[in-house]
Amino acid sequence: MRIAYIQSIGGASGDMLLGALLDLGLSLETLQSDLNKMDISGYELQVTQDTRCEMRGTKLNVKIQDPTRYTPRFLLDTVMNSGLPEGVKTRSGEVLSALWRAECRVHGESEEALELEELGSFDTLVDVVGVVSGLEQLGVERVYAAPLVLGESTPPRWAGGYSNPAPATLELVAMSAAPVVADLPLHQGAGELTTPTGASLITTLADFQRPAFSVTGVGVGLGTKDPEGFPNVIRVWLGETAEQSLAGRQAGIILLETNLDDVSGELVGYAQEQLFALGALDVWYTPIQMKKNRPGVMLSALVPQELETAAFELILRETTTLGVRTRPVERYVAERRIESMESALGVIGVKVKYLGGKAVSASPEYEDCRKIALESGISLQDVYQQAMAEARRQYLD
């Protein structure tokens, strides 16, 4: 399996990552061709070779000619309504959505009301879509990353300015529980090293570990800074793993459990719904026998590490329990993608499961099948069977 390993030496930004992919051999013409599928204009790509602390690399500059600012919704819709491949659209949308959520939390705005200068230009689209598309063009199947280099933690340097790390960058780090490099004396005075766009790309696309693999190429992307103490560069290692695992190992997960013997099934069901709405990975309850032979249930929830506090507070609030057990766990998860399938019945979401890079199952989304059944008068069973047959034909055969 071909993989990419992102090594943030002196920071990370969208244009630095894209410069590293160009340095690896991504064709500028191919990149421009993919970007043209979004039908956007008013920008120019400028690629040069330079050095940072004697490290040679590729510097990409996205020169914006159109000063128009766009809402995050407009940028996301531009990607999703484009002629880009579905996989590129999906992953680019995930990166933009993560960046959007982080900015909303920082600014205390709803998603529809948020308007930001940095997130409002085509520069963001070029960086995000360019990196996602570039990784696909280079044949990369999995992305890994070293800890992020945020630079010196400093207060705002001027009235009304931002601290370092930028609030959105730090929010993205917290959302993904990403590892970060400690403050180092050589970073003093360098200012921002990892931008929100760079953080969103890495935390969304990459797993923070370095697997065993054979390195076949190294691309170096240059930043705009040139401090004396360290090179403002990012490196992307390209390589092949010896063999492809059937499923990926996922860490940073918390298992919450509590025993209940004095609560109705409706309340347990409501707690389950609320935990899923919060962002739980899975929630279930198991019949158990408690003291004095009282029947009860054990409520269990798997949540990302960053949701642990919110999840146990929800369980304490919505059930009668007096305590919640918690422990870190890891799990193996198969790769899965949600595809929008065009069928004779309409557009239906399909969950495609992959093992070792090969599609092995495809399941139509229940809600889409239910909606079609209600609107068409066809039985849900017939809709599901037709959708299943079409999904197998499109994704498995």
Percent of the chain with pLDDT over 70: 96
Element at 300 (helix H, strand E): strand 295-304
How far is the C-alpha of 321 from the C-alpha of 213, rounded, in Å? Answer: 47
What's the predicted TM-score (pTM) here? 0.63
CA distances from 156 to 148, 186, 262, 331 (A): 21, 19, 52, 41
DSSP class per residue in 361-381: EEEE-HHHHHHHHHHH---HH
- Of the candidate ranges 24-38, 98-112, 247-261, the one whose mean pLDDT is the lowest: 98-112
Task: Please give the pLDDT value at position 296.
Answer: 92
Instruction: For residue range 279-288, list pLDDT tens digits in order.
Output: 999 999 999 9
Task: Please give the pLDDT value at position 294.
Answer: 87
Residue 102 has pLDDT above 50, yes or no: yes
**CATH numbers and ranges of domains, the chain:** 2-240 (no CATH), 248-333 (3.30.70.1380), 335-395 (3.10.20.300)
Percent of the chain with pLDDT over 90: 68
Confidence of residue 155 (pLDDT cuts 50, 70, 90): confident
Instruction: For residue range 278-332, list pLDDT tens digits in order.
Output: 999 999 999 999 888 889 999 999 999 999 999 999 999 999 999 999 999 998 8
Task: Please give the pLDDT value at position 118.
Answer: 47
Question: How many CB atoms lie under 10 A from the CB of residue 266?
Answer: 8
Q: Which residues contact 245 (CB under 8 A, 6 or more apart)?
A: 356
Residue 117 has pLDDT above 60, yes or no: no
Quote helix, strand, coil % in the chain, to nearest 5.
Answer: 35, 30, 30
Across residues 255-271, what is the average pLDDT? 92
Task: Please give the pLDDT value at position 387.
Answer: 94
Q: Which residues contact 54 (CB under 8 A, 6 or more apart)?
A: 231
Letter for the amino acid at 196? P
